[in-house]
Amino acid sequence: MSFVDNGYFAHEPLIVTAPDEEGIRTVIEGNRRLATLTILLGLDAAPDDAGFAMALPSSPTELESLKLVPCYEVEDQALVHRFLGFRHIGGIKTWSAEAKARYLLREVDRVHKDQPEDDAFRIVGRLVGSNAQGVRNPYIAMKILIYAREQFGIDVSFVQGRRFGVLNRAMNSPDLRRYIGFGDARTFDEIQNAVEGLDRDNLSEVLRDMSPTPDGGRAVLSDSRNVTIYSQVLASSQAHKILREYNNLDLARRVVEQASIPDRIAQIGQSVEALNREVERQGAPSEATDPARELASLARALLALIEASQ
């Protein structure tokens, strides 16, 4: 334990409010450090079942040195929150994706309340060294989780604690947003309305796919890099059916990829047709003969493969 081995670092003071009428202060920054101290010192505030164990017992001298730690008293909590936001989001001491989203949710709501005519996402983005989009997506993701928990009674603890980055990435997918009934809301008011129109069953399905199976199996969607194909699966009735039947994203992926073959062939055909018209108008150099023969050969081979697979 670094506190016991090295003492409390003076350059990491707890940031606290001035005492209230009862002499009580609120810790704004450093709550985890404070919680660790309460456990080490065995204070009344420490939980009995913290599950905290020391490899070696601490000496009375070591513990005595931790009873007094540096604190920095502030009067304006709003200024401190803005500083901490920049420090932990745009600065060198970053929070987890979920912690960032909780902070951004609070700040966006606060700014909108104070300045309802302005773009709260843009304002908060500037405050934390980001932009409107970088604030909007995590705000939406956290707003959806809160609504799912409070209004639908969905257990979101795993996604919020372990897969929030995946959900945040999913907010970039128009297909997924449509599937859960959120749509393309962008402004503050549009987002509030969209959250209230969420599809409970579809949202529950998506959050369930981001969580381990009841028997401890791997989640269907555990990696943000698979969000795009997962969203395409949701948009394809055939692929979606396979996903639900086998709970296997790789199998559903193959259905999506096979379904796209006709479209890809059609696109290539349109390109070749455009080349034909261009050659009819202005001719082509002799150097184009060999590539054209190769293209024709590839087209015949593709046709043979498709016919053989029927």
pLDDT in tens, 284-300: 888 999 999 999 999 99
Per DSSP, the three-state class of 215 is coil
Cα of 154 vs its chain's centroid, Å: 18
Range(s) of the domain holding residue 177: 78-221
**Is residue 123 domain-shared with residue 189, that is, in the same domain?**
yes
The mean per-residue pLDDT over the stretch 196-210 comes to 98
Residue 180 lies inside a defined structural domain of this protein: yes
**Is residue 55 domain-shared with residue 12, that is, in the same domain?**
yes
- Residue 278: predicted pLDDT: 87
**Is residue 130 domain-shared with residue 200, that is, in the same domain?**
yes
**Is residue 94 domain-shared with residue 138, that is, in the same domain?**
yes
- The answer for 42, left when phi > 0, alpha when psi is -120 to 50, beta otherwise, is left
**DSSP conformation letters of 152-170:** S----HHHHHHSHHHHHHH
For the stretch 211-270, pLDDT in tens is 999 888 899 999 999 999 999 999 999 999 999 999 999 999 998 988 778 887 887 888
* Exposure letters 136-162 (e unless 16+ CB within 10 A, then b): bbbbbbbbbbebbeeeeebebeebbeb
**Is residue 94 domain-shared with residue 215, that is, in the same domain?**
yes
Looking at 157, 187, 221, which one is the last position of a domain? 221
CA gap 241, 252 in Å, rounded = 8
Residue 162 lies inside a defined structural domain of this protein: yes
- Residue 21: predicted pLDDT: 87
In this prediction, what percent of the chain has a pLDDT beyond 90? 53
The mean per-residue pLDDT over the stretch 120-125 comes to 94
- Is the whole model's pTM more than 0.85, yes or no? no
Residue 298 lies inside a defined structural domain of this protein: no
Residue 288 lies inside a defined structural domain of this protein: no
**Is residue 195 domain-shared with residue 99, that is, in the same domain?**
yes
**Is residue 68 domain-shared with residue 126, that is, in the same domain?**
no
**Is residue 112 domain-shared with residue 204, that is, in the same domain?**
yes
Q: By the 8 A CB rule, do 211 and 159 touch?
A: yes
In this prediction, what percent of the chain has a pLDDT beyond 70? 86
- Long-range (24+ apart) CB contacts under 8 A made by 48-51 are none
**Is residue 205 domain-shared with residue 175, that is, in the same domain?**
yes
